Structure 1
Amino acid sequence: MTSISWTGFSKKTPQERLEHLQSNALLSPEDKTILESASLPLATANQMAEHVIGTLSLPFALAPDFQVDGSIYHLPMVTEEPSVVAAASFAAKLIKRSGGFKTHIHQRLMIGQVALYDISDKDNAHQTILTAKENLINMANQAHPSIVKRGGGARDIWCEDKEDFLIVYLSVDTQEAMGANMVNTMMEALVPDLEIMTQGKSLMAILSNYATESLVTAECTVDLRFLSRDKDQAHRLAQKMELASQLAQVDPYRATTHNKGIFNGVDALVLATGNDWRAIEAGAHAYACQDGHYRGLSQWHYDQEAQKIKGKLTLPLPIATKGGSIGLNPSVVAAHDILGNVNARTLARLIASLGLAQNFAALKALTSTGIQSGHMKLQAKSLALLAGAKEEQVPTLVKQLLQEKHLNLETAKQLLAKLS
């Protein structure tokens, strides 16, 4: 995507922002209409879940100008939490000035498993399965031939002895899909033969959301001059950000909040693109404690010689651009259009970069002004709206609320009564 001016974007009305996107060829007229209506048709929703009685809307926002692997992207974010989009946009701006994000796809394979039990000779069963590996892989591919035609399919089989179970794992290239149904179909197809080979019983056959074969790494470097114009202050801030990163490696209480901040960004883009944020979070939190200790998913290092702070984030990201409900929700279709209809690998790169950006913004705020300075203004705005303030009354009411000792709904109502 070409570079676009985003000056004053935050001060525009939602309608003006949509017009800005359309005039810069980021939105088609059809997508603009979809986002203006901001609704999922009830008839469509009724096909997506059971017992449907309505739909729930969330803010659909944009974090512009992310430079990832040399290209510029504008990231749709669905989130209700104040300051998240502003923080991501701020971080993206600073990181772009220092060269942007660099990413690496380690692999993109999903893992399925068949858990077998009541096996009298696990060693012999293990060896029998490995001997039949090629036949089993072919059998899995025959269960879902369409993915093989698209260049994907089963890739490898291995076994692990875990107490009462012998677990058979299958890795699958699911191409543009997340692949849950695909992998489940393959695993279930293997069950009869695996039971015969092992003389055991199958407990279950299912995909795992611990996607250790779908790892993505995002990295960035930020020049100290972008942390603060004061060199000494920038130096102290970089040191404290590195220490904050270390704290998240040794204290699970901090690590949990550290990772939640990362997922403020990750979830917002995962949700906007119609992906399963529950699966992504489950896999990432398991990855965060892969050595038995729950740790922060990102690491920051202060390179004093180069006068830069360097960040790195690795996540399991089995992201899809096809399948599931992605094509059913009009707003999700619009989100993919805004992204340029990138493939699943690129989308995973963008999600990891957004998570690292969100983490950078949070650590910078926590170790300098504190997290509340940005939150309080947005909290005051939410209170003003809850109190019933009209659009033209909100700025004045927010200003008054921030000067009050107690920032709560009752205070907002009292101040609004005086304005009315």
Structure 2
Amino acid sequence: MGSKTISGFSKLNKVGKIKWIAETFFKDPEAVIKELKSYWYANEEKQRVLDGFSENTLSNFPMPFGVAPNFMINGKAFTIPMVIEESSVVAAAASAAKYWMTRGGFKTEVLGTTKIGQLHFKWFGDFSKLTSLTSAFRVYLEKHTDDLVVNMRNRGGGLTNLYFKDFDDQIPGVRQLILEFETCDSMGANFINTVLERSSDILYNFILDQESFLPHEKDYDKIMAILSNYTPECLVRASVSCPVSELGNFGPITGEKLAEKFKDAVDIARIDPYRACTHNKGIYNGIDAVVLATGNDFRAIESCGHTYACRDGQYRSLSFCEIKDGVFNFWMDIPMAVGTVGGLTNLHPIAKRSLEMLGNPGSEELMQIIAATGLAQNFAAVKSLVTTGIQKGHMKMHLMNILNHLNANEQEMNLAIKHFEKNRISFSEVRTYLESKRVNLV
């Protein structure tokens, strides 16, 4: 094997990159090259599009693309596309969807769609004097960014508000200009960042033009300009509700007992960060899967949600449960900045199909679909935890992964599936069972 460092890697063509990787890091480079190429699209145009998403692309990384049917959201039926590798997530979402379909379905509403950009700058002038000029600066800014904003404004979006924030008491001289935007069906990151970067020069010129500022107050230094992925005012609510008497029985557990235990579990996640972390991870099992399937940015959306979960100073559950007047209520408010035009939503071939499957929703409807999926996933997980336990269903779904890992053939798989319908599933027990059958089948 050669040196594990290289100069000019990015300048190699795709085959050259694969060849260097294979020959440098693997014992059988020819097999590795063949394997990586096997995941390329046969359609060269599709492969070229995917290669353009990122840098130093070698191959594609397949992920399961599944669906969860029977979602009733605001009286409308959906089959939800989901991209996720974790066993039982899609099945759990589908199970919760079917359960709530006969109990009123999911209710959702968008509470806000505001997105935020920040210009951070260092300025040692009189902050109160600057804030007194906010209205004048907005007029000045809108005039000098009109060419950037006109198309968004024609679609009903654009700049909706701006204000200044002072951090001088924490970092001397540091101030912020906050711009608030409506970006319609676009997630809007590129639009917001473009406006922000020009805003730096505009603010500097505005300060220079103000005769009321003293000479030292005209010293201005841009630090950085970028959108914030924390969008607490781009918010969607999802909820389910039914009389406790209609929850049904789960083996020996009555609906009344389920409601009580379920509420306790959610309340624990409200007060205990250790539980809240896993609780919210379950929510994002559902959310991330739909976000990926529709070509949106799951990292930004999840980062925002976790920030929102600790907005009062402690990390808490994103969902809530209440039992009032004999009615079970389960809901969450969650920030959700997504788009249905631009970015990968129009470029990724399966993302386009996912949106088509959902009826080509606008961004607000997609927010609601994703939130409902996250709530469904959370309901299914908590219900399992307080009834049968999480492992029974999870290991049943995980059985196929174990069998594949142990190179079981079709006959062995069929025998194992039947055997483990009534027996505890673990890796060691599946391996022991297979070994016994392989001896008997010889």
Asked whether the two chains share a fold, i.e. TM above 0.5, the reply is yes
Distance in 2 of aligned mates of 1:380 and 1:228: 27
Decide whether aligned partners of structure 1 residues 138 and 315 sit closer, same or farther in structure 2, where only a CA change above 3 A counts. farther
Aligned partner letter, 1:206: I
- The percent identity for this pair of structures is 35
Q: Of 251, 255, 273, which aligns to 2:272?
A: 251
Q: CA deviation at 1:384?
A: 0.5
Decide whether aligned partners of structure 1 residues 399 and 407 sit closer, same or farther in structure 2, where only a CA change above 3 A counts. farther
Q: What is the match of residue 319 of structure 1?
A: 338
Q: CA deviation at 1:112?
A: 0.5
Are 2:276 and 1:267 aligned? no
Contact 2:253 2:387 (C-alpha < 8 Å) held by counterparts: no
Distance in 2 of aligned mates of 1:38 and 1:62: 25
- Cα RMSD (Å): 2.4
Q: CA deviation at 1:406?
A: 4.9
Decide whether aligned partners of structure 1 residues 240 and 37 sit closer, same or farther in structure 2, where only a CA change above 3 A counts. farther
Q: What is the match of residue 339 of structure 1?
A: 358
Q: Of 275, 282, 289, which aligns to 2:310?
A: 289
Q: What is the match of residue 260 of structure 2?
A: 239
1:20-419 matches, within 5 Å, as 41-162=46-167, 163-164=170-171, 165-196=174-205, 197=207, 199=218, 200-224=220-244, 225-228=246-249, 233-303=254-324, 305-306=325-326, 308-400=327-419, 403=423, 406-408=426-428, 410-411=431-432, 414-415=435-436, 417-418=438-439, 419=441
Following superposition, which runs of at least 4 residues in structure 1 exceed 6 angstroms of deviation?
36-40, 229-232
Contact 2:399 2:425 (C-alpha < 8 Å) held by counterparts: no
The one-character-per-residue Cα deviations of 1:70-127 (angstroms, maximum 9, x if unpaired) are: 1111110111111111111111112121111111111212110101113232222222
Decide whether aligned partners of structure 1 residues 226 and 289 sit closer, same or farther in structure 2, where only a CA change above 3 A counts. same
Distance in 2 of aligned mates of 1:329 and 1:105: 26
Distance in 1 of aligned mates of 2:156 and 2:363: 14
Distance in 1 of aligned mates of 2:193 and 2:89: 36
Identify which range, 283-292 or 385-394, moves more after superposition: 385-394
Query: How many residues are paired up?
Result: 383
Give the 3-state SS of the residue equivalent to 1:302 in structure 2. strand
Distance in 2 of aligned mates of 1:405 and 1:71: 38
Contact 1:241 1:367 (C-alpha < 8 Å) held by counterparts: yes
TM-score, scaled relative to structure 1:
0.85
Distance in 1 of aligned mates of 2:317 and 2:103: 24
Give the 3-state SS of the residue equivalent to 1:393 in structure 2. helix
Contact 2:416 2:434 (C-alpha < 8 Å) held by counterparts: no
Distance in 2 of aligned mates of 1:385 and 1:37: 26
TM-score, scaled relative to structure 2:
0.81
Unaligned stretches of 5+ residues in structure 1: 1-35
Give the 3-state SS of the residue equivalent to 1:301 in structure 2. strand
Contact 1:266 1:352 (C-alpha < 8 Å) held by counterparts: yes
Aligned partner letter, 2:133: T
Contact 2:395 2:426 (C-alpha < 8 Å) held by counterparts: no
Select the structure of larger CA radius of gyration: 2
Aligned partner letter, 2:262: M
Give the 3-state SS of the residue equivalent to 2:81 in structure 1. strand
Distance in 2 of aligned mates of 1:404 and 1:201: 65
Give the 3-state SS of the residue equivalent to 2:159 in structure 1. strand
Q: CA deviation at 1:69?
A: 1.1
Decide whether aligned partners of structure 1 residues 128 and 86 sit closer, same or farther in structure 2, where only a CA change above 3 A counts. same
Give the 3-state SS of the residue equivalent to 2:112 in structure 1. coil
